[in-house]
Amino acid sequence: MTLFNRLLPLIGHTLAPQALEALRLLNRPFELEVDPFHWSARETSIRFRNRLGIAGGVDKDAGQIRGWHHFGAGFVEVGTVTPEPQGPNPGWIMGRDAETKALWNRMGFPSKGGKIAKENLREWRIFENTHELERFPIFVNIGKNRNTSLEDANKDYASLIGLFARAEQRLADAFVINISSPNTKGLRDLFQKERLAEFLKPIATALTTHGTPGLLKLSPDLEAESLKNAVHVACDLGIDGFIATNTTIERKPGSPFPQEGGVSGAPLTERSRQCLEALIRELGNEKTSKLVVSAGGVMTRDEYLRRRDIGADLVQAYAALAFQGPWFFSNTLTRPKS
């Protein structure tokens, strides 16, 4: 892969906020298929205007919410946000393959930090109130700083919950606990049976203290026993739901990407779908009281509908936006003419 081809995805990602804003100004809001969904958890009751939203990793610092709202997203997951600002991993961090509709990244939670994300969210909520808009659901995906040890990781997550939840107005509708990224060294080790409960307990306490729901984001690479343990530990601690899934370390034959880092897009479709099915089986009767969000390889309207049929309450897009742009919402949520 040439240097130009390596740099092109990063350039596109860097310029995406400006492009989204320009497109917002040039396009009228879309009239989309109405499919509202209501979710109540802890002290919150949230109405989603539709069930298709933005996955974490697209809007890392909550600076693009106005654009995604304009183009019809039902909700946005911002982040991953870390307590302190940090840059990306060194070296090559992004790639895309148009032939296989695949994205690859090893960014490692680049973030402007919790204070900047909080201020951006505050500005959006002011805009929302000033223009008398229906509340737009926002999930805040939280993670640890790179130099924070695994033993102290839960302190980073709990501190971010406190930072956003103590704001003068409710900024986040839910927090996404991200330990499933393959791009922060050792992070997925927190899913180990002997570590997960100890890690999650203070986070669950912080969620209860502030009355805000929390969702555990799952890795598509978890083996069956690890997935089962993660689901039951989270449920026992009162975590309010799950997002399945993050990116995968699996490589299809002929993949142009390095072994390190995570792949999303079409190569993730089947694995993410299987993880959703396994999650719902493990939840059993508890499914009715938990929010289930499906992400990973949702590239078409048919796949969106399939995830809904399997049992996902909400569905998220990431790679599809890179290949189809913000029109993915109108393509997916508008019934095709017969």
Written as tens digits, the pLDDT of the chain (338 aa) is: 443 344 444 444 454 555 555 555 556 555 566 678 999 998 789 999 999 999 999 999 999 999 899 888 999 999 999 999 999 999 888 888 989 999 999 999 999 999 999 999 999 999 999 999 999 999 999 999 999 999 999 999 999 999 998 877 789 999 999 999 999 989 999 999 989 999 999 999 999 999 999 999 999 999 999 999 999 999 999 999 999 999 999 998 888 888 899 999 999 999 999 999 999 999 999 999 999 999 999 999 999 999 999 999 999 999 999 898 888 998 898 766 55
Neighbouring residues of 39: CB distance < 8 A, sequence distance ≥ 6 = 45, 46, 48, 291, 313
| Dist CA 246 CA 80 (whole Å) | 12
| Dist CA 107 CA 59 (whole Å) | 13
pLDDT of residue 35: 79
Q: Which two tokens stand for residue 69?
A: 């709202």
Q: Tell me if residue 181 is catalytic.
A: yes
* Cβ pair 104, 263 in contact under 8 A: yes
Q: Which of 111, 181, 219, 294 is catalytic?
A: 181
| Dist CA 59 CA 44 (whole Å) | 23
* Domains of the chain listed by start with CATH number: 3-333 (3.20.20.70)
| Dist CA 54 CA 306 (whole Å) | 18
pLDDT of residue 120: 96
Closest listed residue to residue 290, CA positions, set 230, 213, 226, 218: 213
* Cβ pair 220, 268 in contact under 8 A: yes
pTM of the model: 0.90
Helix, strand, coil in percent for the chain, rounding step 5? 45, 20, 40
pLDDT of residue 92: 83
Which run of H or E residues covers position 25? helix 3-26
Closest listed residue to residue 164, CA positions, set 155, 173, 153: 173
